[in-house]
Amino acid sequence: MARMESSITRVAGIEVGHFTDTRRPTGCTVVLARAGAVAGVDVRGAAPGTRETDLLHPSNVVERVHGILLSGGSAWGLDAASGVMRWLDEQGAGMTVGPARLPIVPGAVLFDLPLGDQRIRPDAAAGYAACQAASTAAPAEGCVGAGAGAVVGKIFGFPRAMKGGIGHAAITVDGVTVGAIIACNALGDVVDPDTGRVIAGARTADGLQLLDSRRALLRGDAPKPILAGSNTTIGVIATDAVLTKIQAGRLATVGHDGLARAINPVHTLSDGDTLFALATGASNKTLGMMTLITMAAEACALATVRAVRAAQGLRLGDLHLPAAGDVQ
């Protein structure tokens, strides 16, 4: 029987750390596998900002990675990965390449530049600080790390949107755990996958109620023009199951089913939705891919919902981004 866990760090071999910038809403999150983890990735959004994703294709030779970076700051935020590499190198983690050691750190970014001074964005020092904060304790959720500047429901204009964030969840079946951590900065609404009810997203013109973007679009309401790449949901699925690189890639692929249950619309031309998968193998067992992919999709959906439910409302000048629960 499945057991629902609260944290991705219940996956053996996984640590998570946040860096949140106090100068404006932005930050980064690292998911560390110091001993190395078999990895895969699936990029579904049409406007991604990523690093080292080609390396994870099953036909390419690197099998294991040592960390994943999730960052705000759009493409600028990819710089934080160099700080993650430096920290891992100092800890003796990495792939041996001749006389050198090379930590492998893929990453993905989301767009949070409209909130405050866009010249402030995660850099190498931010990535290093996130690593210093990493542990096996349950990481904070909501407006922290990569979720600090996340915003959801921008289809009908930024002023009618709501605050996004970062969340995580895990599921254990027969001694194998699959967890996910999701930074939700989606163009679309976040919905309860069990009821279909909108939790956070675009608001009505007066800002007092949830609009339900899916129904609004289907009745012909015109969306506002959206800058490509100005959204994006990014995350990591982790398991202690024993997987091959091909299987890890499939775990990432089916994890997007969980995003589709919890975000509507998802994978749009203005999103860069990207999911990584890590398999530490620490349980020394597997359940078979049918069960594992079901767990992965469920964990991603739960983590997405937790991301917005944990978020706090934000006021910046005339802009007000309420949190889930502030608007019905």
Task: Assign residue 286 the CATH number of its domain.
Answer: 3.60.70.12
The predicted model gives 119-125 an average pLDDT of: 96
Question: Model confidence over 234-293: pLDDT tens digits?
Answer: 999 999 999 999 999 999 999 999 999 999 999 998 899 999 999 999 999 988 999 999
Counting DSSP H helices and E strands in the chain, the numbers are 5, 19
326 in a domain, yes or no?
A: no
Name the residue range of residue 298's domain.
3-321
* Closest to 8 measured CA to CA, from 247, 249, 302: 302
Rounded to a whole number of angstroms, the distance between the first and last alpha carbons of the chain is 35
pLDDT at site 83:
98
pLDDT at site 229:
61
251 in a domain, yes or no?
A: yes
Angle of helix 245-262 relative to helix 289-309, nearest 10 degrees, comes to 40
CB atoms within 10 A of CB 64: 18
118 in a domain, yes or no?
A: yes
The predicted model gives 64-81 an average pLDDT of: 97
Angle of helix 80-90 relative to helix 124-132, nearest 10 degrees, comes to 50
In whole angstroms, give the CA distance from residue 244 to residue 259.
23
pLDDT at site 45:
85
Residue 1 clears pLDDT 60, i.e. is over it: no
Token pair for residue 218?
């289907």
Residue 144 clears pLDDT 70, i.e. is over it: yes
Phi, psi of 296 (to 5 degrees): -65, -45
The predicted model gives 113-127 an average pLDDT of: 95
Per the listing, tokens 């079901």 go with 294
Entry pTM: 0.96
In whole angstroms, give the CA distance from residue 77 to residue 75.
5
What mean pLDDT is reported for the chain?
A: 94
pLDDT at site 325:
85
Three-state SS across 138-149? CCCCECCHHHCC
Three-state SS across 173-214? ECCEEEEEEEEECCCCEEECCCCCCEEECCECCCCCCECCHH
305 in a domain, yes or no?
A: yes
255 in a domain, yes or no?
A: yes
328 in a domain, yes or no?
A: no
Please give the share of the chain, as a percent, with pLDDT higher than 90.
85
Domain count, the chain: 1
327 in a domain, yes or no?
A: no
14 in a domain, yes or no?
A: yes
In whole angstroms, give the CA distance from residue 147 to residue 112.
9
